[in-house]
Amino acid sequence: MTALISSQLTATRRVWRRSLGADYVGLPLVDGLIAVDNALRREGLRDDVTLIASGKIATGGEVATHIALGADLAHIGRGFLFSIGCIQAMRCHTNTCPTGVTTQNQWLQSGLDPTDKGVRVRNCALALERDFQMITHACGLTHPSQLCREHVVMNISPGVRKAVVELFPYPRNQSGLASLPTSRTQRWSPATVYAAS
């Protein structure tokens, strides 16, 4: 089973919030991710569900943070949109995107050169993976699946920092034992990046 935990600030969420006036519904991505991860651990279902974090994730550091907080995967849209030339003109829904990224207009699409943009997307993916691996190794770990809440520190107030595991401890499962994260290595496979030819 898969669960997508999405930020309040994704494009889909913005449309939903406007149409229903739901400004006070939901949690920020970090809080929602921890809440769902804790609930699944408490019920003993964590190994049966794949959690995907989504929303304003664009760097290897952000991916590492969300993996450490409980996500198994991170959905990255924004960073790759930037790599192909998105300038955030906020006209995606009007079919008049000036960079040709989100339009069906042939003339506007002509500015989107797949050969050039393919190289940029590849470079973005490689840089993202490099940063993610660098943070993993800086934590003294050999694999990203070993990241957990102990590796994330949060600023509480000016000059005050605490480990996330202190703020949001792992819950006790049904048998009363702390439901600590298990290695997700068997569920992970190396990412493959294909070069544009």
pLDDT band at residue 56 under the 50/70/90 scheme: confident
Q: What is the pLDDT of residues 88-141, one digit of tens each?
A: 898 888 889 999 888 899 998 888 888 989 999 999 999 999 999 999 999 999
Amino acid 195 reads A
Question: Domains in the chain, ordered, with CATH?
Answer: 2-187 (3.20.20.70)
User: What is the structure's pLDDT at 46?
Assistant: 87
Confidence label for 179 from pLDDT (cuts 50, 70 and 90): low
- Quote the CA–CA distance of 136 and 144 in Å, as a whole number: 6
CB burial string 85-123: b at 16+ within 10 A, e below: bbeeeeeeeeeebebbbbbeeeebeeeeeeeebbebbee
Q: Note the pLDDT of residue 183.
A: 52
What CA–CA distance (Å, rounded) separates 45 from 43?
A: 6
DSSP SS3 for 52 = strand
pLDDT (tens digit per residue) in 2-31:
777 777 555 544 544 555 555 556 678 888
